[in-house]
Amino acid sequence: MMGLLSTTQEGLIMQAFHSTGFAHKVIFAVGALEQLGKAVEDFGWQRLLLCTSPSQQSAGHVSRIAAALSSRLVAIYERVQPHVQDAQVSEVLTLAHQHAIDAVIGLGGGSPIGIAKAVSSALEEELTGKAVRAVTPIDQPRIPVIAIPTTYAGSEMTPFYGTTRAIEGTTRKTTLSDPRIVPKLVLYDPLLTCQLPKGLTASTGVNALAHCFEALYSVTCNPLSTAAALGALRSIWNALPSCLADGANIPVRTEMLAGAYLAGFALSSVTMGLHHGICHVLGGTAGVAHGIANGIMLPHVLRFNLEATASQIAQAADALGLTDSGQSETALAETIVQQVDVLIRQSGLPQHLRDVGVPASNLPRLAQLAFASRTVQSNPKPITDVTQLLVLLQEAW
Ligand code: NAD
Q: What is the pLDDT of residue 3?
A: 67
pLDDT of 10 above 80: no
Q: What is the pLDDT of residue 1?
A: 54
Instruction: Give the contacts of 98 (CB within 8 A, at least 6 positions apart).
Output: 75
Ligand 1 atom having least distance to the Cα of 153: 43
pTM of the model: 0.96
Q: Is 121 exposed, middle or buried (0-12, 13-18, 19+ CB in 10 A)?
A: buried
- How much distance in Å is there from the Cα of 108 to the middle of ligand 1? 7
The CB of 363 under 6 Å from ligand 1? The reply is: no
The CB of 375 under 6 Å from ligand 1? The reply is: no
The CB of 57 under 6 Å from ligand 1? The reply is: no
The CB of 164 under 6 Å from ligand 1? The reply is: no
Cα 308 to Cα 15, 222, 269, 298, 374: the distances in Å are 16, 17, 21, 16, 19
- How much distance in Å is there from the Cα of 356 to the middle of ligand 1? 17
pLDDT tens sequence across 322-358: 987 889 999 999 999 999 999 999 999 999 999 999 9
pLDDT of 194 above 60: yes
| Average pLDDT score over residue span 128-149 | 91
Q: What is the pLDDT of residue 168?
A: 78
pLDDT of 146 above 70: yes
pLDDT of 50 above 90: yes
Q: What is the pLDDT of residue 183?
A: 98
Q: What is the pLDDT of residue 324?
A: 75
Residue 395 and residue 392: Cα distance in Å, rounded? 5
| Average pLDDT score over residue span 263-267 | 98
For atom 30 of ligand 1, which residue has the closest CA?
110
Percent of the chain's residues with pLDDT above 90? 88
The CB of 290 under 6 Å from ligand 1? The reply is: yes
Q: What is the pLDDT of residue 71?
A: 97
The CB of 161 under 6 Å from ligand 1? The reply is: yes
Cα 170 to Cα 175, 264, 284, 390: the distances in Å are 16, 30, 9, 19
Q: What is the pLDDT of residue 14?
A: 67
Question: Could you tell me whether strands 170-177 and 160-167 are parallel, antiparallel, or unpaired per DSSP bridges?
Answer: antiparallel
Q: Is 91 exposed, middle or buried (0-12, 13-18, 19+ CB in 10 A)?
A: middle
The CB of 247 under 6 Å from ligand 1? The reply is: no
- How much distance in Å is there from the Cα of 156 to the middle of ligand 1? 11
